[in-house]
Structure 1
Amino acid sequence: MNSTPMDLYQKAIIVGAGGHAKVVCDSYMSQDSTNCAEVIGAVDPALKIGMPWYRNLTILGDDSELERQSKTQCVLLNGLGQLPHDSGIRTKVYNKLKAQGFDFATVIDGSAVVSPSVKLDEGVQVLAGVIIQADAQIGANCIINTGAQIDHDCVIGAHSSVAPRAVLCGGVRLGKNVFVGANAVIIQNVVVEDGAVIAAGSVVTKNVFAGQVVYPPRVNQ
């Protein structure tokens, strides 16, 4: 495992160049510049090398560009988003590049409110307007998306995604690879097991088993 302190990397590369990558780029650049490496561009196999991308950055090439980078000088930002039933592309890319020896930067947007007692594993992305309260724990490669609220003592397993404006009340536990949709609410102490999907707008009041999909109530028209 690479043990280089995050503030000693000389450059950062974003993996993927879609919409989520732009949001991650903004949040990373909003942090204290003394703790962030310089972002030099993005890699994306679907885009042409050298083409303009975002914020005066360019496409550096496909994943083969990473083979030319020093793992002690270059940190990665996971620019791939996550959707239910997307075959876990984000997780697969993260695991592949970790196996090659790369580290992923943990991102905390400058506007986020994160208790000093919160534990964030490698590659967690805490985006604009997020609030994470005391003693919460967030696993590796998770996305806590725009305006989400994670209350005290929540535990979120690796590779999970909490979509914009979702709310996890105190003591909620999410397993690995869980997706919580926009504006969903999970009440206190509920357990959501691995691979479950909480659809947008759902209110979850009881435990959810592995792989289960929870939908909001339908309103008769």
Structure 2
Amino acid sequence: MIGTRARSAFPAARRGAIGLAAILMLSGCSGSGGEPNAEAAESSSSRPSISESSSPAESVTPSAAPTPTAAAYKPATAEDPAENVPLPVMPELAKEESKEGLETFAKYWYTTIDYGFETGDLEPFKAINSPDCIVCVSVFDIVGPGYRNDDWITGGKLEVIGTQTTYTLTSKEQYQILVQLRQDPYEYRGPGGHLYERNDGLGSTTVHLIEATYLDDHWYANNVVAID
């Protein structure tokens, strides 16, 4: 068990219509290509002379159907919110009850927060947190108000630098994993490029402790704290 003094990873957010004052201390198709069947060339014992041919045969090449393309992703700017943000997909390894599975899950956990920062949609994040994860609720208090009306958030990208776990059960039947990370600066914006607030993120690295449980073929974060 990791015995260190910890503080809450999520300071309380100032609720208000013009933005947030909280600092978010959160700082992991292949197509099968096939070769077309070659057509055997046909040989003819005699070829018609020009006088025997009425007119050259016209070959019609069918036009290929247009390949649908996904709408291009556009990150948020001071003037516009992000567009067509890819939905985070949990890696298969993150679903395994193993040390590697826990490490991959921890990285994916932050990916769902990144998605929330860009879209205001925290459903993927909610799906991987235990109902008892009180500090996880603070993420909604921080990100949610940033998407009231037509407002949005720019920046805030999280970078997971490394993870470490002994992968042993604690007395509470949980696994613990340390995550070292940093966060880019972020801003709260509104229509017309209005700037409500700016946060410096985390230029230097910080360490979080995630306590997780594996239940029903799924990892869940029970608690997250920043290590002093």
The TM tier, using the shorter chain, reads under 0.3
**Bigger helix share:** 2
Q: Which of these two proteins has the greater Rg computed from alpha carbons? A: 2
The TM-score normalised by the length of structure 2 is: 0.22
**Length-normalised TM-score, structure 1:** 0.23
Larger RCO (alpha carbons 8 Å, 6+ apart): 2
